[in-house]
Amino acid sequence: MRRRRSRASGLMERYASDGGLTLTSMMDILTTLLFFVLKSYVSGGEVTVPPPGVTLPRSTVNADMHTSVVVAIDHDTIMMDGEKVASVRDAVSSDELMIAPLAKRLVEARALMDDLAQKKGEKRQVSRLATIQGDAGIEFRVLQKVMYTLDRNGFPDIALAVLKKA
Amino acid sequence: MRRRTRRKELKVNTDLKLMPLMNIIIALIPMLLLSAVFLEVKVIETSLPRDADASAAAAEPATPPLDLAVHVRGDVYVIEGHGVSPLLVARRSAAAAPDSVATQLLSQALKAIAAAHPGTTEVRIVAEARTRYQEVIALMDVARGAGLVNPALEGAGDASAPAPSTGGI
């Protein structure tokens, strides 16, 4: 009887636990998840989010985005750097290829960029790149007018933002 | 008599204290997941043709250029070019992008033309005013897939309109 009791107490000592959780395996999972999220957070190049209401077209192209002036076009408005500058209806109804309010903003932006580059003493030419974030459903005539306006106002290099097809 | 000293066993808890680290990670992961962008935004680089290009184009070449173009018309795509017999491919005018059959036919036709004219990398996508942007991008993809890596955009029925051309995609 005594022998059995001592054996049981020995086993209890051996497998005694303080009741704490074993967190190591959970830590492994969380650490892996953290690295995955961090990797997808900045995947290289310029990371950008299209403005609300703009669904970019899908393409198989594989060129990364660069820092630039951004002109977004949705079904109603033309925006530059997040601010509304013109309406699509006005742009379409006009016979001119140039969109005057956008042209004005582009000239201002160009002057500001040149001024900053001069103050910084940059010798290399300032980037003349503009990115168009157009909704997949916009009409070609709107895109054409925006591209023309960009070209004629100091932004001859144009990038069309698209979503990469899976 | 030698006195036996009993060494007092010092119990040290060697377990790592993981809870503070867990707290940080649990706070970090939702924050990163909420702010992460999982959609990859890429760009198609384009530019409008320069005056120099226009003057070069104005010069009389020894052989007429191929001047390959894909026109988007009501219910057909038309592939045209010098020395190329016009090819019509059915188009669903209401669709936002060419369907798989049209895409395949266009791709085959453009590949055949590109193979017959080595060195040709340019093609004009002549879109109508109301053509959807997605359709234009899809046609540029088809052209690029066929080896015509410099697709140019042009508005149909507007000769004065600029013809932006893609460069080095």
Q: Do A19 and A75 fall into the same domain? A: no
- pLDDT tens string A71-124: 999 999 999 988 899 999 999 998 888 999 999 999 999 888 888 888 887 766
Q: Do A90 and A30 fall into the same domain? A: no
Distance (Å, whole) CA A67 – CA A79: 17
Distance (Å, whole) CA A55 – CA A74: 8
- pLDDT tens string A33-76: 888 877 766 555 555 678 888 899 999 888 888 888 899 999 99
Q: Do A132 and A63 fall into the same domain? A: yes
Q: Do A63 and A145 fall into the same domain? A: yes
**Strand partners for A59:** A164
Which residue stretches of A42-134 are H helix?
Answer: 88-93, 100-120
A147 belongs to a structural domain: yes
Q: What is the pLDDT of residue A107?
A: 92
> Is A97 within 8 Å of chain B by CB?
yes
Q: Which residue has the higher pLDDT, A113 or B12?
A: A113
Q: Do A90 and A150 fall into the same domain? A: yes
Q: What is the pLDDT of residue B163?
A: 47
Q: Do A29 and A108 fall into the same domain? A: no
Residues of A in contact with B46 (CB under 8 A): 147, 158-160
A50 belongs to a structural domain: no
Question: What would the mean pLDDT of B94-112 be, rounded to a whole number?
Answer: 87
Q: Indicate whether B58 pLDDT > 60.
A: no
Q: Do A72 and A144 fall into the same domain? A: yes
Q: Give the nearest chain A residue to B35 (CA atoms).
A: A41
A113 contacts A124 by C-beta, under 8 angstroms: no
Range of the domain at A139: 58-164
Q: Do A9 and A91 fall into the same domain? A: no
Query: What DSSP character marks residue A67?
Result: S
Distance (Å, whole) CA A61 – CA B153: 16
> Which 3 state secondary structure label does DSSP give B6?
coil
Total length of chain B? 169
Q: Which residue has the higher pLDDT, A143 or A50?
A: A143
> Which 3 state secondary structure label does DSSP give B19?
helix
Q: Is the ipTM of this complex over 0.90?
A: no
Cβ within 8 Å of B, A 98-127: none
Structurally, how many domains does chain A consist of? 2
Asked if A140 lies within 8 A of B155 by C-beta distance, the reply is: yes
Q: Do A92 and A150 fall into the same domain? A: yes
Asked if B162 lies within 8 A of A148 by C-beta distance, the reply is: yes
**Alpha-carbon distance A135 to nearest alpha carbon in chain B (angstroms):** 7
Residues of A in contact with B139 (CB under 8 A): none
Q: Do A62 and A112 fall into the same domain? A: yes
A47 belongs to a structural domain: no
Asked if A161 lies within 8 A of B43 by C-beta distance, the reply is: yes
Q: What is the pLDDT of residue B96?
A: 75
Q: What are the φ/ψ torsions at residue B18 (nearest 5 degrees)?
A: -90, -15
> Is A84 within 8 Å of chain B by CB?
no
Q: What are the φ/ψ torsions at residue B4 (nearest 5 degrees)?
A: -90, 120
A125 belongs to a structural domain: yes
pLDDT band, very low/low/confident/very high, at B32 (cuts 50, 70, 90): confident
Q: Do A82 and A148 fall into the same domain? A: yes
Distance (Å, whole) CA B78 – CA A8: 89
Torsion of CA B96, B100, B105, B109, to 10 degrees: 70
Q: Do A30 and A65 fall into the same domain? A: no
Complete domains list, chain B, with CATH: 46-166 (3.30.420)
